[in-house]
Amino acid sequence: MKSNFIKEIINKDLKLGKNRSRVHTRFPPEPNGYLHIGHAKSICLNFGLADDYNGGKCNLRFDDTNPATEDKEYVDSIIEDVKWLGFDWGDRLYYASDYFDQFYMHAIKLINLGKAYVDDQSAETIRKSRGTLTEPGKISKYRSRSIDENLKLFEQMKKGKFKTGSKVLRAKIDMEHPNINMRDPVIYRIIHKEHHRTGSKWCIYPMYDWAHGLEDSIEKITHSLCTLEFENHRPLYDWFLQQLGIFHPQQIEFARLNLNYTIMSKRKLKKLVEKKYVRGWDDPRMPTISGLRRRGYTPQSIIQFSEKIGVAKRDGIIDCAFLEHCLREDLNKTAYRVMGVLNPLKVTILNYPKNKTEYLLAENNPEDSSFGNRKIMFSRELYIEKTDFLENAPSKYFRLSLGKEVRLKHAYYITCVDYKKDKNGIVSELFCNYDPKTKGGWSDDGRKIKGTLHWVSAKDCINAEVRLYNNLFDIENPDSEGENFINHINQNSLIILKNSKLENCLSKPDSNINYQFMRIGYFCVDKDSNSDKLVYNRTVTLKDSWLKKNIK
Ligand code: ATP
Ligand code: MG
């Protein structure tokens, strides 16, 4: 990983011999949704740091402290996603819920220190009495409870004597603290709800600020990386650990990844799924890791993207065209070149014998000869792309029109001699002649041909459904619209073509392979495919709008 301000902090710590010169990070998702590309950045950062330092380690930890929103489905998806990105946590997979007993003991210690109390006020009242940036908070009348009374009440809270939301345990810090997070924050609340791992053992659950530092401390994390919105929580993180006198990791904040034309909040992504605006968490339009995977993104492209955007101390929005640029750079090296006609137009080669077929040689990747060659069938009847023919073509149009000659990739030169229209007046078939002396798509008489078209043989192609994707939102920053983000879903974010014709080699698709359909884009097979129907996703087009904007 290239140098960044986090590495500078770590290097300094190592020089001082802090933590016996260990580097130990963690990736701590809450299993309340699927991971998105922002999480991927955090994964690459945390696991990347562990890789960069000799003997460095990175834990995968589920921050599963809220039974109301969490679920095993999310745990499983997170494990799959981190694995798919290629990161290895070894035997360091942890669950915050395994620490519930320790959290509880630490809370008792805090009460015994006179630093925590049970408050009977409602969550609403507590929120209202916290004050503002200019006004101090109001002291709760329960703040002066004795240590013994607090111990007794807290135990009863744990035993389930009280209703959900009827009492909380709060830290006793300072209701006039300039940092509102320090105004007696809640550390435990009552939720009578089954937890996906601890069942009904607990009915009190720790708040994030209380649990997170303890989790880091228990796991002896040296550097606890989190996003910028937690900067104001750091004094609290430090306060808890100081009071308890336990191992004290260093919290370091970095900027969240934001991408334009999409959203990065799990809650909002969940709304898209639940209200069926998309077809699931792994809908290829989603910025989730599972969506990107289904769309055809490679782990390498996401890792490269994370590396190239680096880590910043200030929030910003990254152009999604840059993510696509990183994807193209990878796919250009690794994709198999094939031909697929999205919107087919029939072509009959009049001077090609009726029953003849022949096989032509095509290279699988011009960037890398180790991909080898394949044979593609040529026959009298072919398909080309509808948009590759114009009745009234302007002079700069190098594709087919009446009397014009073009090259069919890997095959022959053909000239259009006639065409036919259907009853709606739409061109429905072309009639062409081929030049047998141009086999392979080359002529030795020096004749210059500007247009090269992709095609498939009508005798040797397969039908497929092809799904084209565009940005999920039609404005750059849908997140700034609050809950109205829903009103900005791009109505053309999914285009389904039902009658595409693809080269026969795509009939047995390999879900581990990315294909480039020449001239059209990169594609991969979709999991909706079955023995009756093949579905391909367009991962990304060939046109790199980021390069165009950024490299003159
Ligand atoms: P969301 O707001 O999407 O729900 P979160 O921060 O609540 O995200 P967590 O499951 O708590 O989600 O996040 C796990 C880790 O991933 C945290 O360390 C968090 O800082 C990091 N993370 C989450 N979103 C981003 C992002 N957009 N960019 C970088 N890191 C992120
Ligand atoms: Mg969170």
What's the pLDDT score for residue 548?
81
Measured in angstroms, how far is the CA atom of residue 503 from the centroid of ligand 1? 42
Residue to substitute in 69, 94, 227, 253 for testing ligand 1 pocket (most ligand atoms within 8 angstroms of CB): 227
Residue written as token pair 């603290």: 177
Kindly state the tokens that stand for 469.
């994707």
What residues in the chain have per-residue pLDDT under 50? none
What's the pLDDT score for residue 401?
97
Triad 376, 377, 381: Cα angle to 5° = 135
Three-state DSSP class for residue 13: helix
Question: Does 38 contact ligand 1 (Cβ within 6 A)?
Answer: yes
- Cβ atoms of 196 and 71 within 8 Å: the answer is yes
How does strand 357-363 pair with strand 373-379?
antiparallel
Order of strands across the sheet that contains 405-408 = 452-453, 405-408, 413-421, 427-435, 344-349, 381-385, 455-457
Q: How far apart are CA 310 and CA 320, in angstroms?
A: 15
Question: Does 518 contact ligand 1 (Cβ within 6 A)?
Answer: no
Kindly state the tokens that stand for 177.
């603290």
Q: How far apart are CA 333 and CA 367, in angstroms?
A: 7
What's the pLDDT score for residue 367?
86
Q: How far apart are CA 269 and CA 289, in angstroms?
A: 12
Question: Does 257 contact ligand 1 (Cβ within 6 A)?
Answer: yes
Q: How far apart are CA 236 and CA 187, in angstroms?
A: 11
Characterize 139-154 residue by residue with b for buried, 16 or more Cβ atoms within 10 angstroms of its Cβ, and e for exposed: ebebeebeeeebbebb
- Cβ atoms of 261 and 285 within 8 Å: the answer is no
For 263-284, write each residue's pLDDT tens digit.
Answer: 999 999 999 999 999 999 999 9
- Report residues near ion ligand 2: CB below 5 Å: 30
Q: How far apart are CA 469 and CA 485, in angstroms?
A: 19
User: Which residues does the annotation mark as catalytic?
Assistant: 30, 256, 266
CA distances from 428 to 177, 344, 459, 462, 494 (A): 76, 9, 18, 19, 26
What's the pLDDT score for residue 3?
87
Residue written as token pair 């669950």: 95
Show Cβ contacts of residue 233 under 8 Å, excluding neighbours closer than 6 positions: 181, 209
Q: Which helix or strand (DSSP H or E) is residue 545 part of?
A: helix 545-550
Sign of CA dihedral 327, 331, 332, 337: negative
Measured in angstroms, how far is the CA atom of residue 30 from the centroid of ligand 2? 6
pTM value is 0.95
What's the pLDDT score for residue 25?
98
String of DSSP letters for 85-108: HT---TT-EEEGGGGHHHHHHHHH
What's the pLDDT score for residue 544?
84
